[in-house]
Structure 1
Amino acid sequence: MDITTGIEELVEEAEQLIRDHTWIPTTADRTVAAKAAADLRAAVGTPQSQQALSDVDRLEHLREALAAVALAHVHGRLAWFLGASATALTPVLHWRAMPAEDGPTFGAVPPSPQQYTEAEDAIRRLQNTLAHIATPDAIRLSREA
């Protein structure tokens, strides 16, 4: 499964859980979601700004985004959502932007420009979802559904 599909499936599940009142984000959830959303926004900018960067910088930003998701301190459904999101983003850990120079790469492979773009778009989708979870409207909307 690719990064985009993995994140999209997780986002859809989270949105459904909120709509069904199975998951009503707590104040702590909203606080962590807001911080994670801000960290993702800071790590991965607009499509235009990302595409202007070197491959080394793009990969660095993707790894910063993965770290922001993986290092969030939370429990319960948000922790499960973020953990699964981190797992979906792990292919970036196997990418390299530097030439191999005829040495071992520990299995790291250069991603295509399309893979960079897809990973960045998936992170933006995750960021938007976390920003929504962070708002009190997420709770209100789940109660109105």
Structure 2
Amino acid sequence: MRTAIEALAAQAEAQIRDQSWTLTPADRSIAANASASLRTAIGTPHTQEAMPAVERLAHLREALAVLAVALAGVHGRLAWFLGAATTALTPVLHWRALPDDHGPTFGAVLPALEQYTDAEEAIRRLSDTLTRINTA
């Protein structure tokens, strides 16, 4: 996930730098709000790693909800960027932190701890990019 978000971030930053993407004031506001909300959802690496898996997963799902709300309010390049970022993070939706108790899990899987870290780092990178989008 981190690799996918890094590629999206680089593409977005290049489009802003070469002025093929001109941000509206509304885009800037949504980017700023989304960035702050993502930072709130996903704390520092030390904080996240100290949490039990079920709480880490809840925070990752909260970050996806932040992206969905931001995506609902935009059009054009920012929508495409947020949509691609959300898609890159969708494996989180198939994760579970609880045992299956020998029942159906609807395809949910237990991720490795490294996968939590990868997703959290991807979201931090996404937040940084949204901050740069807002200030470009």
- TM normalised by structure 1 equals 0.90
Shift in Å at residue 76 of structure 1? Answer: 1.1
Matched residue, 1:109: 109
Matched residue, 2:122: 122
Letter of the structure 2 residue corresponding to residue 88 of structure 1: A
Shift in Å at residue 75 of structure 1? Answer: 1.2
Mark the runs of 5 or more structure 2 residues left unpaired by the alignment: none
The residue matched to 2:9 in structure 1 has which SS? helix
Query: Whole-Å Cα distance in 2 between the matches of residues 5 and 49 of structure 1?
Result: 22
Query: Whole-Å Cα distance in 1 between the matches of residues 133 and 6 of structure 2?
Result: 15
Shift in Å at residue 24 of structure 1? Answer: 1.6
1:63 to 53, 61, 64: 61
Mark the runs of 5 or more structure 1 residues left unpaired by the alignment: 139-145
Deviations 1:26-72 (A, max 9, x none): 11111000010011001000000000111000000001001101221
Shift in Å at residue 96 of structure 1? Answer: 0.3
Query: Whole-Å Cα distance in 2 between the matches of residues 112 and 23 of structure 1?
Result: 37
- TM normalised by structure 2 equals 0.96
Shift in Å at residue 9 of structure 1? Answer: 1.1
What is the percentage of aligned positions where both structures have the same residue? 63
Letter of the structure 1 residue corresponding to residue 91 of structure 2: P
Shift in Å at residue 82 of structure 1? Answer: 0.4
1:14 to 12, 15, 20: 12
Query: Whole-Å Cα distance in 2 between the matches of residues 79 and 125 of structure 1?
Result: 17
Matching of residues 13-32 of structure 1 within 5 Å: 13-32=11-30
Query: Whole-Å Cα distance in 2 between the matches of residues 28 and 122 of structure 1?
Result: 24
Misfit runs of 4+, over 6 Å: none
Query: Whole-Å Cα distance in 2 between the matches of residues 41 and 33 of structure 1?
Result: 12
Matched residue, 2:51: 53
